[in-house]
Amino acid sequence: MTDRVRALRAAEKQKDAIAGLEEIISGLISDKAEVTRIAQAYQSELVSQRLYEW
C-alpha cells in the first residue's frame, strides 16, 4: 500500500495521481465498512450467547 501511494505521488500527471489516490481511499472506506459490519455481527452474536447462558 505504501509503495503504491509513493508511486502515485511521484507520478508526473497530477490527474492520474489524484485518481489513483481516490481509488485507494474508496477501497479503504469500503474495507472499513465491511470490517464494521463484521464486528457488529460478532457483537450481536456475543450478546445472544450471553443472554442464552444467563
Instruction: Quote the pLDDT of residue 11.
Output: 80
Indicate the burial class of 14 (C-beta count within 10 angstroms; 0-12, 13-18, 19 or more). exposed
Name the nearest CA neighbour of 19 among 4, 3, 33, 30. 4
Higher pLDDT, 13 or 52: 13
d(CA 20, CA 8) in angstroms, rounded, equals 7
Sign of CA dihedral 44, 45, 46, 49: positive
For 16-36, the pLDDT digits (tens) are: 899 999 999 999 999 999 999
The full set of domain ranges for the chain reads 2-53
Instruction: Quote the pLDDT of residue 36.
Output: 98
